Structure 1
């Protein structure tokens, strides 16, 4: 199991997520003028006053400065003449002649009108002569009612909505990874290297990591996830990682898919004559397998869903319980691997004794926060995974709270 709390560094508590209501979309507001119409400049224009009155020229009548007497004053009247008496007979003759000419002329125009017949003008001439035979009953054409032109409605192409995404709780509790069944043995053996030095510890961790890659690849793919091998770095003290500063405790960083192992502590314990060498080797194998369990959670999406649940938890106590479910699951997955390969590791009596000691003596009682589960529940989950070798038995997110206390 990991001896760092919580796995990957605990995110700072920011309280329950805010509940965001639907945004009230108000769009651009229209400005209305005095007449209630849309805004904008009110166009008035030039008022129309009707047609323009064009004054014509002023006519003052003939003559010059008024009608009156000419220059020199009144003239003496002339002597009256009788010549007008001669003109009367001549005028009578002229009038009678003009009357006779008019009567004759009118008579001639009437005669011309009676004897001249204008030809009719046809707008259409048939191309064939009319037949003497009577035609059949006239063909009558019924008036055709105008049919309204209609366009058949075209089916509206609608894009189906995207499928509903599972909730965070559905991911951590119902992922297909839980249905991948019992893990078959892959012939993994404890590496010959030991923790007598950092170099020996590094070799041990690399060999164990390669074995875990081989054991878990099949089940990750069966759960319809993409498998990627983990990385492993053996630390000789603290250091800086993508997941933040580390005090040197073993942990997994999902940002780069890397397992960081506290090599210094293992080397110190291995070289301590009062500590069992078998205990150190079992502890090294169990820690690598536990941190690899977090890698599996990362590959399957359980890690991301866990983080969302953690931030949404209403209380600190709820956050700690969710964190314990995550860590206990990694412990159970570690035991699945060891149970599946118990014949080849091998899990001897000495191995199983140290394994049982670890299960009964690991827990939050020796830590500052209750992040990994108490020593009361550790044996339950370690034996559950070891004996079943089945991933479904490690679904800690559906367990009752007393099983993850």
Structure 2
């Protein structure tokens, strides 16, 4: 029979009534002739509760035991979903990561997939099972211990199963009814997209859109897994929600498909760094070792030149999440103390936000940057840093102008129009 993967997030399985609602959607697909793999998250709020219990027990916890505790939330949901389906007359069985088995690397809390053998689940399908309810977010490491994939890992689990089993489609059920041109809470003109290309969704996810986890989109693009994002709380059919697919499935792409933003950004500047070969590596290697997620990078001619070497110094600016500023500060200060780099000052602006426009249509259209910058200028919004790629333009601005900038850009590119 054709196979479908259905993933239900935490809000979609928040209580027994929600689980029953999700089970009815699964039952409908079984009645349409599909075998189904259901990937479930923990009930809404449960993972945070489990993390709190771990941290309340030990601040310096063993990562292996952390994974054992936090993975239990998905196990509960999987069992409850299988029980509900059985009660509805649907042959279903729950599966924990080690039972599949979902083989991963041994990096606890941030494991990656190695393989998902099909034999065990395929055997149960042959014996009459119609639905395999798999606990998302978890796997088993090389040492036989439970591993977890990091926050949002159930999305990645769903895509990995769709790729491994050759699923016709992977449906991601959540508390929103699709992908929008921007956050509807900021712009009332935000419009739900019928289709969006993998590349655009990957950029939107990495730039702050919370609907899909970035790693899940990367995996879907690599294995060409068609994703459909839709609401658990609406009556849906195969045309509902937003389809995330290959670019060639989209007839005509808009120049800009969406406006993404990240509110909690910081701008860090090393003032008067020596301008020499290897200085960038000397700065960013310690940051990488410290786990700082550096995004936008700009190198400028410094206003302060050494008197005996005019022009031989530079200012290096980069952005990172605001909660990583102290980690970044310590990394570069330690590098200076060790004589790896030298700089006069470290300037931090932790009151900025990142706003981005994304669209595969940028590849073939000129003037996107000009229109973006004009829209911000007309609202008297100053740009602090600019970063571009083939299909996106990002800027750092003062955080207080974030909502205004999103609305202005949404209007400038007429994204409310279908």
TM-score range, shorter chain: under 0.3
TM-score scaled by structure 1?
0.25
Q: Which has the higher helix share?
A: 1
TM-score scaled by structure 2?
0.24
Q: Which has the higher strand share?
A: 2
The answer to which structure, 1 or 2, has the higher relative contact order (CA under 8 A, 6+ apart) is 1
Q: Quick check: which has more Rg, 1 or 2?
A: 1
